[in-house]
Amino acid sequence: MRRYLLPFSTPVPRFALALLAYHGRMSRFRIETQTMPQSAIKNFPVIAAIDLGSNSFHMVLAKADHGEIRVLERLGEKVQLAAGIDEERLLSEEAMQRGLDCLRRFAQLTSGLPQGAVRVVGTNALREARNRSEFIRRAEAVLGHPVEVISGREEARLIHLGVSHTLAAAPGKRLVVDIGGGSTEFIVGQRFEPLLRESLQMGCVSYTQRYFKDGKITPARYAQAYTAARLELMGIEQSLRRLGWQEAVGASGTIRAVGLASKGGGIGNGEITPEGIAWLKRKTLKLGDVEKLDMDGIKPDRRTIFPAGLAIMEAVFDALELQRMDHCEGALREGVLYDLLGRHHHEDVRERTLSALMERYHADPEQAARVEAKALSALEQVADAWGLDDDWHRELLSWAAKVHEIGQDIAHYHYHKHGAYLIEHSDLSGFSRQDQQMLALLVRGHRRNIPKDRFEEFGDEGVQLIRLCVLLRFAILFHHIRGTQEMPRVQLQAGPKSLDVVFPDGWLQANPLTQADFEQEAEWLSRIGFVLSVR
């Protein structure tokens, strides 16, 4: 289970010492965190978070030690996945190989970890690539752990979570900006709670490909990149300003490089300011070529993307009228790490998200609870026979039972289709895109025709999804009366493409509506080659 770590009423005094062994030396990282109960992480003493970014891939390996997070290893490599996406939005084989080679090195540290102890997330480059499924399949084969592609706003939530756990708690609101390779995230939050999350299609790698591909830096090209960023920002700058903030924090390599390069030029102590940006802009344009950007704070592997990142940084400062931004080491990977821990404790952001969804669309919570309980009870009876014994099977079935009726708030006619659309196209905190697609498909298939071809798009998992859909439909039919009568215990027996439902003797004859429901259900299931027998 994934948990969103929220502040308690008491202060958060703990911090973790991170032992960074990759370079053979000790390094300290201050990570402010809430105490994690040992029961929450006893099954996974070592965990890992991997961030498949558009510019770099990063991994954090950590362990829980007496309720604290102790970082064991931090690895990062420039992969520039976004640079391998062509005009048809296809990821090149060369870019895939760069990513897979990096993941093979990461896999040496994660290969022994059990399922559930590693979370791998892909961001904008994989959101954009039309052939992402090919890369994901090969990456999962290398890592031995699932890869999920997250939405821009989910990425923003996780970035804010990582920053909130890395910096000391401060009064008031905080603006967090993360300039990535393919997208830039903006969050206004207070302590651990994000109040506004936005993701824009501008990044240092994608803008480099568009405006500085040959490495030449001219005032005209820089102005084009700056203007493009300002145009992107126009849609969100008023919303951000309306909320306001007391401090601004940047969480990316681009922002760190701008701060360090400014410091190297004698401006400030690593913070980003309008004066530092202006000085860097003049110097960058004077040099005129990325190969000449030999400045303190700009690593050789960042020179090619620095002008684009600087143009975006200047646009952000101008649009939001910022006077100062400080850099924070914590970002997406730290947020993923804390979110992973949360899956094994009592509070899960996904549960909060679904509760809000049910409330927004006026779903009947009592009916949802009845259907959920029956669906999970049915799952216990057939889990072994149908191979539905993974945690995600139970979670997905539970979620679908909760929200299967939300489409009725749009219209009763075809409400299952309305509900599926809402789930697939909403920004649902805590859910990956695949989570949402699978959940939407269960809601879409919970009544009338089952779209078999849509299930088959999920490959081998499609068979398991159809079986979960059958269990959901069974639970809904079982409670068609909506709790107005006491329901009997039933026995379920499952075959590869069959389900046998055994009611107590005489009960069906005494309840002809339920009997008719199941007879009709048998007809619907027969259309996908599934046999339902009721006696």
Which domains occur in the chain, in start order?
14-149 (3.30.420.40), 168-327 (3.30.420.150), 349-534 (1.10.3210.10)
What mean pLDDT do residues 259-286 have? 95
**Nearest-angstrom CA–CA distance, 219 and 307:** 11
Residue 197, SS3 per DSSP: strand
Q: What's the pLDDT score for residue 345?
A: 52
Q: What's the pLDDT score for residue 301?
A: 87
Mean residue pLDDT across the chain? 86
Closest by CA position to 272, among listed 241, 247, 250: 250
Q: What is the pLDDT of residues 85-101, one digit of tens each?
A: 999 999 999 999 999 99
**17-31, 165-179, 273-287, range with the lowest pLDDT:** 17-31
Q: How many CA atoms lie within 13 A of 199 on its CB side?
A: 19
What mean pLDDT do residues 68-73 have? 77
Q: What's the pLDDT score for residue 384?
A: 93
Per-residue tokens: 462: 């499609």
Cβ-based neighbours of 525, under 8 Å, separated by 6 or more: 450, 470, 531, 532
In single-letter form, the type of residue at position 42 comes to: K
**Nearest-angstrom CA–CA distance, 271 and 313:** 13
In three-state form (DSSP H/G/I as H, E/B as E, the rest C), the secondary structure along 124-146 is HHHHHCCCHHHHHHHHHHHHCCC
- Which pLDDT band, with edges at 50, 70 and 90, does 43 fall under? low
Sheet containing strand 247-250, strands side by side = 193-200, 184-190, 174-179, 247-250, 326-327
At residue 169, does pLDDT exceed 80? Answer: no
Decide which of 488 and 24 is more confident.
488
**Nearest-angstrom CA–CA distance, 299 and 295:** 8
Q: Following DSSP, what letter does each residue of 20-56 receive, concatenated?
A: -TTTTS-----EEEPPPPHHHHTT-SEEEEEEE-SSE
At residue 321, does pLDDT exceed 80? Answer: yes
Find which of 66-70, 277-281, 451-455 is predicted with most confidence, using mean pLDDT: 277-281
At residue 293, does pLDDT exceed 80? Answer: yes
What mean pLDDT do residues 267-279 have? 95
Q: What's the pLDDT score for residue 191?
A: 85
Give yes or no for a contact between 151 and 127, defined as CB atoms under 8 angstroms apart. Answer: yes
Give yes or no for a contact between 167 and 189, defined as CB atoms under 8 angstroms apart. Answer: no
Q: What is the pLDDT of residues 354-378, one digit of tens each?
A: 988 999 999 999 999 999 999 999 9
Q: Is the pTM of this model over 0.75?
A: no
Per-residue tokens: 280: 């860097």
Q: What is the pLDDT of residues 192-246, one digit of tens each?
A: 889 999 999 999 999 999 999 999 999 999 999 999 999 999 999 999 999 999 9
Q: How far apart, in Å, are the Cα atoms of 397 and each of 1, 369, 404?
A: 14, 12, 10
Give yes or no for a contact between 358 and 403, defined as CB atoms under 8 angstroms apart. Answer: yes
